[in-house]
A and B are shown apart, each in its own frame.
Chain A
Amino acid sequence: MSGYRLSVGGRINRAAPLSFTFDGKAYQGLEGDSLASALLASGVMLFGRSFKYHRPRGILGMGSEEPNALMTVERGPARMTPNLRAPSVALHAGLAAKSQNRFPTLRRDLTAVNDTLSAFFPAGFYNKTFMWPRAAWESVYEPIIRRLAGLGDSPTTRDPDHYGATYAHCDVLVVGAGPAGIAAAVEAAATGGRVILIDEQEEPGGGALADPAQWADLAASLAALNAADNVQILSRTTAIGHYHQNFVVAVERLTDHLAPTDAKGAREKLWRIRAGRVVLAQGAIERPLVFDGNDIPGVMLASAARTAALRYGVAVGRSVIVMAVHDSGWRDALALMAAGVTVSTIIDLRQDVAAELVDAARGAGIAVHLGCAVTSARGRLGISSITYAPGGTVDERAIACDALLMAGGWTPTVHLWSHAKGTLRWDGAWGAYLPDTTHEVMTCVGGCGGAWDYGSGLALGTLPSAKPLHKRKGFVDFQNDVKARDIGLAVQEGFRSIEHIKRYTTNGMATDQGKTSNLNGLQIASDVLSRPVTEIGLTTFRPPYTPQTFGALLGHHKEALFQPLRKTAIDDWARDHGAVYENVAQWRRARYFPRGAEDMDAAVLRECLAVRDSVGMFDASTLGKIEVVGPDAAEFLNRLYTNPWKSLAPGRCRYGLLLREEGFIMDDGVAGRMAPDRFHVTTTTGGAARVLNMMEDYLQTEWSDLDVWLTSATEQWAVIAVQGPKARDVIAGLVSGIDLSREAFPHMAVREGHICGVPTRLFRVSFTGELGFEVNVPAQHGRMVWEAIHAAGQPYDITPYGTEAMHVLRAEKGFIIIGQDTDGTITPEDAGMAWAIGQKKPDFVGKRSLARPDLVAQGRKQLVGLLTEDGTHVLEEGAQIVADPDQPVPMTMIGHVTSAYLSPALGRSIALALVADGRARMGETLYVPMPGGVIRAVVTGPVFYDAEGSRLDA
């Protein structure tokens, strides 16, 4: 218990106390506090346990760089967010925070045995140790590792919040509202262009918030920006990624800073910003120093103590020591003294420190030890003393303290610069990488551009120590629990590239993205390898800059809006009549229409029999439709499809087979010639966009000489298939202007006329093998015409059927479904559809490939029928087929089942299968090994019902 609230100072509202809890215990903070500052003010030093060793940890930094103090914040049922950084959590009344990675309590963590055994948990430990025996992985290792590892717990219930999203456009985007960012925004605003200024903190100001001397200027600048109507300031907004051409993605937190009762509307908002120019003003992050015990609670960055005191009015301790290798530590020490914080000692590794700093420190009563370094920090749950010695010697002395501040120099925040592929250059004076060149219209200003006066200092991997590296226990990456000696070990084991060292040790990985660890890790690798830092390389910073919620990234795409659900004009009717749906691409389609307590099998049986015996109706609206129009329409289709098209007379239809240029079946469908220069082409439901794109591709890039145009008409037409021996009788009374007689309107013909008073394109086609019509009407009339046909069909007990019955009916006829009976490697010959190829055509898409050696070779899989010996047994689609069930495992598979159903017409099961040389195996018995035993099936032709097609022309 060390920290306390100073009697004056800070930007908190001392008249507005806020009650909150941490690990169930009640605390009080002030309006304007962060969770971190409020806990520090209450004397809390212990904020969490570390990721791997479960070591006690306190606050390291006071911004989003904080690696240790990860909190789970609960905001009522189902609203639980893990891994929030305590300094970035705004305090509000009733805030309930929990520490993480501890079991059972923060102060007494049983799993901290990891730390005692840490000598056995070096870099690569998990990779090396848990490889064998393999069976132990799932039963032993994984559960234990899951218990011990991980950052926080995932919520287990649905997130009740909703999230917003938007695009935004501006001439200048400024990321970071510290003094440099604000100056850049003021300058940009004066040009009159649109300016967006975003900042991750609760209020704009950045580093100036911890410098009262700048508060007046800050307020004036912000007032001017707020008054300008071309400037938008987004606070609590983190730029998480910088993508191509000045596309910056940011997340604005809208409600988490409010008490849950005050939170209205979207919780967070995703900003997708396209900027003419990006100004990065992300500042710099102070670097920790590496020495034994540098992670004990109470050891923190000097800048954090400064922020605590000057922004929040909190002293981090009563007896504070500063370990500096950089001037900024001295400045912070003096600022702390001025604010009323007692700094007892400044230790600096440098012998030569600017006299004005040394004099000022001594003048303020601070003991100064130059040329010395801290050799260890001591204490278990909080620091109690340190030892220091002249650099690299064993001449140790101890001093008591309750806070140790590290001033290790500064690392410019170049994350967003790097996301956008900006290059970096090593700057020796900074001991850091600074922005160099970029393809983007992007500049860095202030600290992140190296243009800020933090003073001068040293940049080093570890503080000097008399101990060899492998005996030191200083941490480099606090969040991932990587020690200096782990990097030494990685090098010793042969890793040379920093990219490999990073992955082996996990230094700088994951949610932290190396904010405080990257440069120290690099320096240590450089020291161990005895090569300059610039030869070690630099790891890649990746988005997001800080962890984000899934909700923020989803934006609107949640729950009902997750993705569009496409429904046909007849969908409502189906819903009202109890349809059970299935999703096909983005479409929702009626799968079957159960009556009473029918299950799917019973409903499908009834629906199929109705089509065979009387008449059924089916919503086929989702079929893709493309209107192909122009003087060269027939020529175009002729070049594209396998079939001949030029000879097709207007008023007639043809089944078309479309190949990819590689010769494999891509899609199929019926096309009707509406006029000499107009075709109504249909595609599969899922293939509509793909086929149109392929057609446009050939038309625009290969055959741009053709006068023909393509228009998607999928959604123009509702399509009602009326199928069965009574189909003609049902629609006869509704249709006008079309002679429906068998002679005048034969199978595979199309007519234009009217049905129920609206225009129709009426196709006489069949995907069931029965007499059938497909009624196309403008979509807005689809429901009305459907109901009219349903009413007209009542005398015949017309039966609406769904996709499942449709599949069964077509399988009985051996009609393929693209993507089910084909898989992208099936040629027309394989599918037994050589009849669809125009043998006299010199060329069509895919024709040349059909003569490739592989495609004419023996042993290709061919589509055949399969009849199980036990007719009640329905094979599983996807099941593998073998010729010899007694062969040793692994068996030689010769094919697989593509479709399998119980056939109502045959009263037994049927299946389609792709089998090597299948057509040469007619009558042969094949075997389908399944978990329950081997199933015997006989190879047949793929047409199971009405092979001569007599029913089509009823």
Chain B
Amino acid sequence: MLEIAPMKLSAADLALPAEALVADGVQLALADDYARFSLRARDAAILEGLLGRKLPAKIGETLDGVACLGPDEWLALLPAGTALPLGEGLPVSVTDISSRALGFVVEGPRAVELITSGCPLDVAKFPIGRGTRTVFETVEIVVWRTAEARFHIEVWRSFAPWLWHALAAAA
């Protein structure tokens, strides 16, 4: 019988590199640190009152560093160190998730091509400012078009090395 050597399928020890990846037509880099918050409320006005800022009204829209991900859910990417009131007692949830995810910046004329290699959405048609939760292959991400040829990608910390190397393979 044919002997097949066992394959070490999941022993891959991928790490995030220290340097940005510069390839033909596209660059992949780690984003700056952010203060990240998950903001939840049935009534956006209560959150807006608590935080003293306007929130994007429609799923997929972004405003001043805040993306509306769901009917009662916003993701805030604010300058590192920003603190928000927790709204104790109010019908809201403000949760610090600064450490939960890492950000990638994909930039260049081939940025759309790179993201489309594993993301099933028609990213080319994203207007600037659109941000949405989706997947890259099997990994959940948030894709946010910040400029014509620049995207910000949020990915949970432990999935970041895989995503980096999957994007690098496509680059």
Contact = CB atoms under 8 A, between A and B. Distances in A.
Direct contact of A and B (CB under 8 A): yes
Interface of A: 154, 156, 158, 162, 164-169, 272, 274, 556-557, 559-569, 575, 583, 586-588, 627, 629-631, 675-678, 707-709, 711-717, 778-781
B99 A561 contact: no
Given A567-B158, A630-B91, A631-B91, A716 B13 contact: no
B92 interface: yes
Given A164-B170, A575-B13, A713-B97, A630 B117 contact: no
Nearest to A569: B157
B146 interface: no
Contacts of A709: 40-41, 72-73, 92-93
B117 to A, nearest CB: 5
Interface string B9-43: 11111100000000000000000000000101110
Contacts of B93: 627, 629-630, 708-709, 711
A274 B117 contact: no
B161 interface: yes
B166 interface: yes
B170 A564 contact: no
B75 to A, nearest CB: 10
Given A556-B169, A630-B91, A780-B99, 13 more contacts: A167-B117, A167-B119, A169-B116, A274-B122, A556-B117, A565-B13, A629-B95, A630-B40, A630-B92, A675-B88, A677-B88, A716-B100, A717-B99
A169 B9 contact: no
Nearest to A583: B10
Contacts of A676: 88-89
Given A560-B12, A562-B10, A587-B158, A715 B101 contact: yes
A566 B95 contact: no
Given A166-B170, A274-B122, A563 B95 contact: no
A676 B13 CA distance: 42
Interface string B85-123: 010111111111111110000000000010011111010
A565 B10 contact: yes
Contacts of B161: 564-565, 567
Contacts of A567: 158, 161
A167 B2 contact: no
Nearest to A782: B99
20 contacts: A156-B4, A166-B117, A169-B116, A556-B170, A562-B9, A564-B161, A564-B162, A565-B11, A565-B161, A567-B158, A629-B94, A631-B91, A677-B88, A677-B89, A709-B40, A709-B72, A711-B40, A715-B101, A716-B96, A778-B99
B77 to A, nearest CB: 15
Nearest to A153: B2
A713 B138 contact: no
A556 B118 contact: yes
A575 B119 CA distance: 32
B64 interface: no
A631 B100 contact: no
Contacts of B98: 716, 778
Contacts of B41: 709
Contact of A779 (B14, B40, B42, B100): B100
Contacts of B101: 715
Given A677-B89, A709-B40, A715-B100, A167 B14 contact: no
B158 A568 contact: yes
B138 A564 contact: yes
A588 B13 CA distance: 10
Given A561-B162, A779-B100, A779-B157, A629 B118 contact: no
- Residue from B42, B93, B98 whose CB has the most chain A CB atoms within 10 Å: B93
Nearest to B37: A711
A155 to B, nearest CB: 10
A779 B102 CA distance: 11
A715 B154 CA distance: 13
Contacts of A780: 99
A46 B30 CA distance: 59
Interface size class for chain B?
35 or more
A716 B97 contact: yes
Contacts, number: 136
Contacts of A559: 12
B100 to A, nearest CB: 4
Given A560-B165, A561-B165, A566 B158 contact: yes
A564 B9 CA distance: 10
A601 B42 CA distance: 54
Contacts of B162: 561, 563-565
Contacts of A708: 93
A778 B7 CA distance: 35
Contacts of B166: 556, 561
Given A564-B159, A564-B162, A557 B137 contact: yes
B12 A711 contact: no
A588 B91 CA distance: 38
B115 to A, nearest CB: 9
A240 B166 CA distance: 24
B124 interface: yes
Contacts of A630: 40, 91-93
A165 B118 contact: yes
B45 interface: no
B134 to A, nearest CB: 11
B23 to A, nearest CB: 12
B139 interface: yes
B40 to A, nearest CB: 4
A561 B11 CA distance: 10
B95 A713 contact: yes
Given A556-B170, A629-B40, A713 B100 contact: yes
Nearest to B5: A158
Nearest to A707: B91
A765 to B, nearest CB: 21
A713 B137 CA distance: 22
